[in-house]
Structure 1
Amino acid sequence: MYLLYIIQGVVFPAMHGVWSKWAPPNESTRLTSYVISGAYVGTVIGYPMCGWLAKNYDWPSTFYVPGFIAIIWCAVWLTTIAETPGEDKSITKEELKYIIDSIGPTDDKKLSVSNYPWKQIFTSMPVWSITFSTVCENWGFFTLLTQLPTFMHDVLKFDIGKGSLLSALPYSVMAVALQFSGIFIDWVRKTNIFTTTQVRKISTCGAFFLQSICMFSAGNCETGLGSIIFLTLTAGLVSFSVTGYCVNPLDIAPQYASIILGIANTFGTIPGIVSPLLTGFIVQHQSPEEWKWVFIISSSLYFLGGLLYAIFGSGERQHWAEIKTTSKNDFVDEPLMRNNDIVPLSQCE
C-alpha cells in the first residue's frame, strides 16, 4: 500500500507540469478542475463498486479490479498524451498558435535540480499558503474518505451496502460541481472585475469558511439526514476551494508549478496519516459526542486555512519565476499571464 501511495503522489504534480505548457491562462482553472474531478469520479464509482465486490466476492477483488482498470487507463494515457503542444501529432495549426500566443514565452531549458530556485521557493509565503491550504483541505478530505463509512455505520446505523452508496454521495456532488466551478471562475477572471489574487482568495477563503461551518454543523446535527446534507455541502465546496489554491501554482510560478504542488502534496499526505490515528484515539466508544470532536477539529482547520490564505495568498507571478528574454536581461510578462488581468488574444497580435 505504501508503494501505491508513493506512485500516486506524483500524479497531480505531473499534471500541473503538463498544464503549465498546455493550458491558456484564461482556461487554466477549468482545465485543472476537470482533471481534479476525475479523482472524485473514481471515488464515486469506487465506493459502491468495492462495497459490492466485498459483499459478493472475497476482499482481494477490491484491489484486483481497480488495479486492472488502472492498467488499461495507463495504456490509453501513454498512447494519447504529449508533453507539449508542439509534440502532439493531432493538434491543428490554429490550436497550436492559440496556445503559444496565449501562454507566451516559456522556459524550456532543462534545468538540473540544483539550479532550481529552492531557497526562494521554500521562503515564499504564497507557496506556504498553498501548502497549508492543501493540508487543511486534505484533513477534511481524508477524514471523510476514511471515516465517513464508519460514522454512517456506528452513529447513523446504516448497513454496509447503504452506507457505501451514501458515502459516495458527497463525492458525486464534488465531481459534478467541479465541472461548473472552473468555468465560473475563469469567467470571473475574464471580466477583469477582480485581480487574479482576489479571485483565488475568494475561491479558497470563501469555500474554507463555509466548509468550516458545514463540518461543525454536521457534527452537531440532531438527525442523520441533516448530517449527510452538511457533509455533502462540505464536499461540494471543495469544487471552489481547489479553483483557488490548487490552481494557484500556475499563477505564481508556472514553470515550477509541478514542484510547488509536489511540495504541497508532500505535506498534504500528513493528514492522511494523522487524521485516522487521531480519530481512532478520540472515538473509543463510537458515541455521537466523540464524533463531534472529530468534526470540530476539521472545522477548525478549515477556518485556520482560510484565514492564513487570506493573509499570505497571492495570484502575482513571483519575481524568482520571471522569464528573461534571450536578448536582454529584462524580465517579461506573458501576453495572457499578466498578474492583474487577462488580455484578449486579439490585443496581443
Structure 2
Amino acid sequence: MAVGHYEVGPVVKQSKDGGEAVPHVSSTMERDADADQGPTWLFWRRRRYIVAFLAFLGFFNVYALRVNLSVAIVAMTANRTVQGENGTVSYERDFDWDSKTQGWVLSSFFYGYIVTQIPGGWLAARIGGHRVFGIGIVATSLFTLITPPLANASVYVLVAVRIVEGLFEGVSYPCIHAVWARWAPPLERSRLATLAFSGSYVGTVVAMPVCGILAKNVGWPSIFYVFGALGVAWFLAWWWIVAGSPEEDPNISPEELAYIQKALGTKPNKEIIHPWGKFLTSLPVWSIVMAHFCENWGFYTLLTQLPTFMKDTLHFDLKDAGFMSALPYLVMAIILQFAGHLADWLVARDILNLTNLRKVFTCGAFLSQTIFMLLAAFLLTPAGAVTSLTIAVGLGAFAWSGFSVNHLDVAPQHASVLMGLSNTVATLPGMISPSITGYIVQNKSAAEWKIVFYIASSIYLVGAIFYGVFASGERQEWAKESSSERKDEEHAYTNPALEMERT
C-alpha cells in the first residue's frame, strides 16, 4: 500500500515503570523494513545509514579543519637552517611568534565557535539541519584554503580568519540533531548519532600525523590546501546525496520510508516555537548540559595537554608522544560503534527504558573515568598512565551514547537548539582548562600533573551525580503536542482500519 496517504504518529511503548519510554516500532516491523535491502552490513542500501556515514565524514572534516593549525604552527614557527653563499650558516623561520602569540592564534577559533552554537541550532530547525551542516563545513573549508596567504599578510588577519572559521564550525554539532530528528528512528538514534560523532575522533587521529607528514615533506601551506580541498569535496557529495527528510529523498525505498514514518510519525510542517523559559528551568535539560560540560573538560584537558605530559613527565620522545596521544581517541572511536549499537539493543529488547539507559551509560562512564583518571595520577609510569588514560578516554564513548542523544529523547523538535545550548557551555572547558593547566604545571613536575588529574576526576564525579539524579529519557510535557492533538493520535492508534492497514 502506498505510504503517506494518512498521518500516523509513533506507536508509544510503555516503559517498565509505567512512563512513556519510546515511540515503539516492533522488531518484526524493523525486519520487514530491511528485508528487501539485503544484509545489515550493506549499509548503502539504507538511506539513513548513508546519511550517517556522510555525517561521519563531515565530522572527520570538522576536526581535521580544527586541529590542522595545531600541527602547522609548529612548522610555521620552527627554525630553518640557511647556508649563505660564503658558507655561513644562519637560522630563520617563517613567523617570529612567541608562545603567547601562538596561544592567542590557537585559541582564537573557540571565540567564534562558542558564538554560533544556539543560533546554529535555531537556524537548523527553521531551514533544515542538512543545509546548515553542509554550509558550515564548506565555508570553513574555503577559509582554510586561503589561510596561507592571509597568514603571510598579518597575524591579526590570521586570527580574524580563525574566528570566522569557528563561527561556521559552531553550527555543526547543533544542526546534526535536526537531521536525526527527521532521519533517525527512536530505536536507532544511539547508533546513528554515535556513528556520526565518531568521525570527530577519527579525524583527530588521522589529521595530526598526516599534517606532520605534509609539513615535513611538502611544506606547511599544503596542510591547509589538502584539508580545505577535502572539505569542499565532501560538501559536494553531501549536498548532492543527502535530502532534508526521508520524504524528500527520491532514492529511498518504500519499505524504509514506511519504517521511518511509522517510527517517527508524519506531521504537517509548521513553525516550531522554542519555549526558552522551559529550556532554562528544566532539570533534565540542565543534566544534559552538565554532562556535556564534564565530558568535554576531560576531553579538552587531554587533547591539549597529553603530548606535553607524555614528553615532560613520562619522558617519551616527541614522535612517540604524538602517537600515544592519539591512541585514546582511536580507542574511543572504535568503542563508540559498539556503545551505540548496545544502547539501541538494550532499549529494543526492553532490558532498560530510555531514562535508565541514558543514566547507566553516562554515569557508568563518568564514574569509570573518575577512577582511571585517579589511577593515572597515582601511577605516573609510562605503561600505567597511558593504559589508564586510554581506558578513561575510551569509556567516554558510553557517555556519548547517553547524554549526547538525550536531547532527542526529551524534546525531539527542539533537539538542535538544545544541542546548541549544551555545546555552548561544553565549549568553555576548551577555553578554560588549558589555561588552568598552564597555571598549575609551571615546573612540569609529577605532583603538578596530579592536581590536573584530580580536577578532571572531581568534575567527572560531579557530572555523574547530577546526571544520575536529574536526567530523563522521557519526552517532557512542554515538548509534547497539544492535548487535542494527542487525543486524535491516540484515537488513530485504536482505529481498526488503520491497525489493519499497518499490519
TM value normalised by structure 1? 0.91
Instruction: Trace 1:76-95 onto structure 2 (pairs within 5 A).
Output: 76-95=237-256
The corresponding residue for 2:85 is none
Partner secondary structure for residue 243 of structure 2: coil
Moved more, 155-164 or 268-277: 155-164
Q: Aligned match of 1:268 in 417, 423, 426?
A: 426
Q: Aligned match of 1:251 in 405, 409, 413?
A: 409
Q: Deviation of residue 320 (structure 1)?
A: 0.9
The corresponding residue for 1:99 is 260
Matched, 1:29 2:190: yes
Matched, 1:169 2:327: yes
Q: Deviation of residue 60 (structure 1)?
A: 4.0
Percent identity of equivalent pairs: 46
Change in 2 beyond 3 A, CA 1:35/1:210: same
Instruction: Trace 1:176-325 onto structure 2 (pairs within 5 A).
Output: 176-324=334-482
Partner secondary structure for residue 270 of structure 2: coil
Q: Deviation of residue 158 (structure 1)?
A: 2.1
Structure with larger Rg: 2
- Greater relative CO, 1 or 2 (CA 8 Å, sep 6+): 1
Partner secondary structure for residue 18 of structure 1: helix
Q: Deviation of residue 65 (structure 1)?
A: 2.8
Q: Is the contact made by 2:205 and 2:329 (CA closer than 8 Å) also made in structure 1?
A: yes
The corresponding residue for 2:167 is 6
Q: Aligned match of 1:46 in 207, 223, 226?
A: 207
**How many Å separate the matches in 2 of 1:315 and 1:299?**
26
**How many Å separate the matches in 2 of 1:94 and 1:249?**
27
The corresponding residue for 2:226 is 65
TM value normalised by structure 2? 0.64
Size of the aligned set, in residue pairs, is 336
Partner secondary structure for residue 218 of structure 1: helix
Q: Is the contact made by 2:380 and 2:446 (CA closer than 8 Å) also made in structure 1?
A: no
Superposed CA deviations along residues 294-331 of structure 1, whole A, max 9, x for unmatched, are 11111110110011000110001001111248x74648
Q: Deviation of residue 12 (structure 1)?
A: 1.5
**How many Å separate the matches in 2 of 1:282 and 1:7?**
33
Q: Is the contact made by 2:314 and 2:380 (CA closer than 8 Å) also made in structure 1?
A: no
**How many Å separate the matches in 2 of 1:230 and 1:31?**
28
Superposed CA deviations along residues 87-135 of structure 1, whole A, max 9, x for unmatched, are 1121011111110001124463123xxx321111111111111001100
Partner secondary structure for residue 315 of structure 2: coil
Superposed CA deviations along residues 24-83 of structure 1, whole A, max 9, x for unmatched, are 111111101101111111011012222333444544444333222222212221111111
Moved more, 204-213 or 285-294: 285-294
Change in 2 beyond 3 A, CA 1:214/1:107: farther
**How many Å separate the matches in 2 of 1:204 and 1:181?**
11
**How many Å separate the matches in 2 of 1:331 and 1:166?**
57
Moved more, 133-142 or 48-57: 48-57
Letter in 1 for 2:227: P
**How many Å separate the matches in 1 of 2:266 and 2:482?**
9
Q: Is the contact made by 1:41 and 1:175 (CA closer than 8 Å) also made in structure 2?
A: yes
Q: Aligned match of 2:178 in 6, 12, 17?
A: 17
Moved more, 242-251 or 188-197: 188-197
Q: Deviation of residue 8 (structure 1)?
A: 1.6
Q: Is the contact made by 1:51 and 1:164 (CA closer than 8 Å) also made in structure 2?
A: no
**How many Å separate the matches in 2 of 1:331 and 1:283?**
62
**How many Å separate the matches in 2 of 1:134 and 1:107?**
32
Change in 2 beyond 3 A, CA 1:160/1:59: farther
Partner secondary structure for residue 315 of structure 1: coil
Structure 2, unmatched stretches of 5+, are 1-161, 494-498
Partner secondary structure for residue 372 of structure 2: helix
Q: Deviation of residue 347 (structure 1)?
A: 12
Q: Is the contact made by 1:41 and 1:171 (CA closer than 8 Å) also made in structure 2?
A: yes
Letter in 2 for 1:216: L
Partner secondary structure for residue 247 of structure 1: helix
**How many Å separate the matches in 2 of 1:346 and 1:55?**
67
Q: Is the contact made by 1:47 and 1:167 (CA closer than 8 Å) also made in structure 2?
A: no
Superposed CA deviations along residues 114-167 of structure 1, whole A, max 9, x for unmatched, are x32111111111111100110000011101111111111111222222222111
Partner secondary structure for residue 474 of structure 2: coil
Partner secondary structure for residue 401 of structure 2: helix
Partner secondary structure for residue 250 of structure 1: helix
Change in 2 beyond 3 A, CA 1:243/1:174: same
Q: Is the contact made by 2:336 and 2:397 (CA closer than 8 Å) also made in structure 1?
A: yes
Q: Is the contact made by 2:190 and 2:341 (CA closer than 8 Å) also made in structure 1?
A: yes
Letter in 2 for 1:275: S
Letter in 1 for 2:470: F
Q: Deviation of residue 206 (structure 1)?
A: 0.3
Structure 1, unmatched stretches of 5+, are 337-344
Q: Is the contact made by 1:82 and 1:88 (CA closer than 8 Å) also made in structure 2?
A: yes
The corresponding residue for 1:148 is 306
Change in 2 beyond 3 A, CA 1:348/1:250: farther
